[in-house]
Structures are given as structure tokens and as C-alpha cells.
Amino acid sequence: MPALDSTIMLSEHVIQARVREMARRISEDYADVDELFMIGVLRGCYIFMADLSRALSIPRHIDFIALSSYGKGTVSGAVRLIMDVRTDISRRHVLIVEDIVDTGHTLDYLLRLFRARSPASLKTCSLLRKSGSAQVDVPVDYLGFEIPDVWIVGYGLDCGDKYRALPYIAQISPEKKQET
Ligand code: PRP
């Protein structure tokens, strides 16, 4: 992995403690449900999804969806479906699992897509949400951390597809971002 000289925003210890706390709340809220249907949004969610799903104390089914956004950061925020979930979500209790909500376009797209498939319930979970960058107002039912609108990497999040495997989340400078 390339060296990263930047500021740690959320340490491994802080992230892991928060993930356990989120898992405890989710496990309580879904205690009476047969099975929680977790849908992770590739690729950024993969580490959070692994840790969160393992920390739950309730039955769960794991699936993934992959999206691509056209013109990231533009107001249009058009989102395209690359890979759909494998299973029918009708009458399931669905929890969308994201690493980060930025403009909100991705989550907004997913909520509309899944609502049309008649789930028993539909909620959202994101480790991070950037404050001040929302273009669409989307509900996040389980949120790990509210963070400032800066470039970050680690714990699944990338910069030019690097740094995803870092166990912590670090702020990356605009200069470093330019290099990738
Ligand atoms: C990131 C992140 C979310 C999305 C949020 O994905 O994983 O899915 O952006 O942004 P939004 O709120 O502005 O829609 P990205 O497109 O960077 O792809 P990746 O997960 O494969 O890195």
C-alpha cells in the first residue's frame, strides 16, 4: 500500500467501537424480525459491511448492489445500476448499508429503486455522512459519524482506488488527491 502522510480523522479503535454500538442498536430494533436483509453498496461499503454484519446478534442475509455515478459532484448526480441484488426483496426487512452519504444521490436512487419492490420495511445505515454537501435530503436511520466536507480515505473509502484497506479513516489533502 502506498504511504499516506495525512491526518487521522477516525482511529481504528473509534471506528470499531462505533460499529459495535450501531450493531447493538440494529440488533435490538430488528429483534422480532425473522431475518434482516442487508444490502451493501459496492465498493466502498465492503469493510464496514463485513464488520457490521459480524457484530450483529440477529439472523441476517447479505447481498450487494453496485452503482456508478455519472459526473460525480455535479448537480444532476445521475446514477446507473451496474449490478443488481441477487434476491427478491419483496416482504423482506431491508437495510441499505453505505460507507458514506455525500450528495445523497446514491441513497436517493436506491430508496426509490427498492421501495418499488415492496419490501416489508426499508431503512438506511451509513458509517459516515458529510455535513453541508447534501443535494438531496435522504434519511439515514443508523449513522456512525457526521464529518466535515473534506477528502477522506480508508476503511473502504478510496482515492484513485488506493487506501481502501487502511483500518482507520484519514483526511487527504487536495494536493495528495491530485497525485492519484
Ligand atoms: C461513494 C460511496 C457512496 C456514494 C455516495 O461511492 O460509496 O456509494 O459515493 O455519494 P453520493 O451521496 O454523492 O451519491 P463511489 O461512487 O465513490 O464508488 P465506490 O464506492 O466504488 O468507491
Which tens digit of pLDDT belongs to each residue from 71-94?
A: 665 666 789 999 999 999 999 999
Q: Whose CA is nearest to atom 20 of ligand 1?
A: 44
Confirm or reject: Cβ of 43 under 6 Å from ligand 1: yes
Atom of ligand 1 nearest to the CA of 41: 8
- What separation in angstroms does the CA of 24 have from each of 13, 31, 35? 17, 10, 15
Atom of ligand 1 nearest to the CA of 164: 22
Q: Which residues pair with 66 in a beta bridge?
A: 42, 83
What is the set of active-site residues?
Answer: 102
Q: Is the pLDDT of residue 168 over 90?
A: yes
Confirm or reject: Cβ of 41 under 6 Å from ligand 1: yes
Taking every pair of Cα atoms in the chain, the longest distance, rounded to a whole number of angstroms, is 50
How many helices and strands (H and E) does the chain possess?
4, 9
Is the pTM of the predicted complex or chain greater than 0.75? yes
Tell me, in angstroms, the distance from the centre of ligand 1 to residue 101's CA: 7
pLDDT at 9: 97
Confirm or reject: Cβ of 108 under 6 Å from ligand 1: no
Rounded Cα gap, residues 111 and 39, in angstroms: 12
Q: Answer positive or negative: Cα dihedral of 44, 22, 104, 177.
A: negative
pLDDT at 71: 61
Tell me, in angstroms, the distance from the centre of ligand 1 to residue 158's CA: 10
* Stretch 102-131: mean pLDDT: 97
Confirm or reject: Cβ of 99 under 6 Å from ligand 1: yes
Enumerate residues 6+ apart whose C-beta is below 8 A from 79. 67, 68, 69, 70, 105, 106, 109
Q: DSSP letter at 102?
A: S
Q: Whose CA is nearest to atom 6 of ligand 1?
A: 44
- Whole-number percent of the chain with pLDDT over 90: 84
